Structure 1
Amino acid sequence: MEFHTERLTIRPFQRNDLESVFEIYHHDDVCRYLLHDKWTHENRQREFAKKLENSILTKDRALSLAVVHETKVIGDLSVWYTGMKDTVEIGYSFSHEAKGNGYATEAVSGLVKKLFDQFKVHRIQANLDARNKASQRLCERIGMRKEAHFIQDFWNKGEWTDSIVYGMLLSDLHLQN
């Protein structure tokens, strides 16, 4: 799947994207709320290979997409089926240089529209670490609603964390227009 927004190209990862993606995931603060630790020089090839493999969304395989501004990868979008009929979960990470320019909102909003239009999903959700305020704001900007806040329900990186679930239906997207 490849598509364009006003300023961005969203496409599957390519082999020459490794360094740009490493720059995203090589920072503790970017990975703080993710399920994995920051990438190292030793594991970056292995981690990036997973992104290259995930080039098509199927019931059994996640989709990983590069967010490209001009010629540089500035973000990473992920989508996977949850096991519930026609329901997907989304995830996203962006580089420091992308912050404050609206690129994340533009990319994730474009992805949501594609998922409803092209994949005919019924529901899109995002599960977040409750401390990730920027991610919460992004979900709300694109029209997702906060549906749940679970207290210390997830053990990650040596601590119990709260989780927040955001959700969206096609009808929620149409309410925005």
Structure 2
Amino acid sequence: MSTYKTFTTERLILKPTSEADDEFVFELFNTQKWIQNIGDRNIKSVAMAKEYILNKMQPQLERLGYSNYTIIRKTDQVKIGACGLYDREGLEGIDIGFAFLPEYEGKGYAFEAAHKLVKVAFNEFGIKGISAITSKNNISSQKLLEKLGLELIGTTKLPNDNQELLHYKIEN
């Protein structure tokens, strides 16, 4: 794990998610907003969260050098959210995504973390374009994507899902 880079911002640490984050991932994936806006991943135990990290997050990290990052607040070392760059099936380019525990929303953490990842994606990982998808009713996510400089380019549907999603993009 230590071969993968951790990034910092003024208030945050962005650390590649590892199996040590299993309790946090279990909590985050079962928040109402995660299930409503991202989808139920059917993670019903900490053990299932650990399995998800090992089977879904780690392989992409090993293959591409980036994946999901656990967001840690510097002041108290509390895990507050996740932000990542994902090679998502059915979506051209790399997808940026973010989610925070409810008590840490609306404090600018998502912008701070996602803004750092966009810069790192372009400057360190050599990614040429970043996409993002969000549901039509997730207004806070749409505003954040626009603040990050992504532009709405249309709608899309992911494989095996008939929900029409808003599709954003930014080019380096």
TM-score (norm 1): 0.78
Residues 1:69 and 2:69 are matched in the alignment: no
Closer, same or farther: CA 69–130 of 1 in aligned 2, 3 Å: same
Deviation at 1:147, TM superposition (A): 0.9
User: Which contiguous aligned blocks of 4+ residues in structure 1 show a shift greater than 6 angstroms?
Assistant: none
Q: Distance in 2 between matches of 1:11 and 1:51?
A: 16
Closer, same or farther: CA 143–95 of 1 in aligned 2, 3 Å: same
Closer, same or farther: CA 58–22 of 1 in aligned 2, 3 Å: same
Give the alignment partner of residue 137 of structure 2, picking from 105, 116, 131.
131
The total of aligned residue pairs comes to 163
Give the alignment partner of residue 45 of structure 1, picking from 35, 43, 50.
50
Residues 1:120 and 2:120 are matched in the alignment: no
Query: Which 5+ residue runs of structure 1 have no aligned equivalent?
Result: 171-177
Give % identity.
Answer: 23
TM-score (norm 2): 0.80
The secondary structure found in structure 2 opposite 1:40 is coil
Residues 1:23 and 2:27 are matched in the alignment: yes
Closer, same or farther: CA 14–81 of 1 in aligned 2, 3 Å: closer
Moved more, 134-143 or 17-26: 17-26
Query: Which 5+ residue runs of structure 2 have no aligned equivalent?
Result: none
Closer, same or farther: CA 142–57 of 1 in aligned 2, 3 Å: farther
Closer, same or farther: CA 97–55 of 1 in aligned 2, 3 Å: farther
The secondary structure found in structure 2 opposite 1:149 is strand
Matched to 1:128, the amino acid is T
> Which structure has greater strand proportion?
1
Match of 1:168 in 2: 170
Contact 1:57 1:80 in 2 (8 A): no
* Aligned CA-pair RMSD: 2.7
Q: Distance in 2 between matches of 1:73 and 1:6?
A: 16
Q: Distance in 2 between matches of 1:38 and 1:27?
A: 12
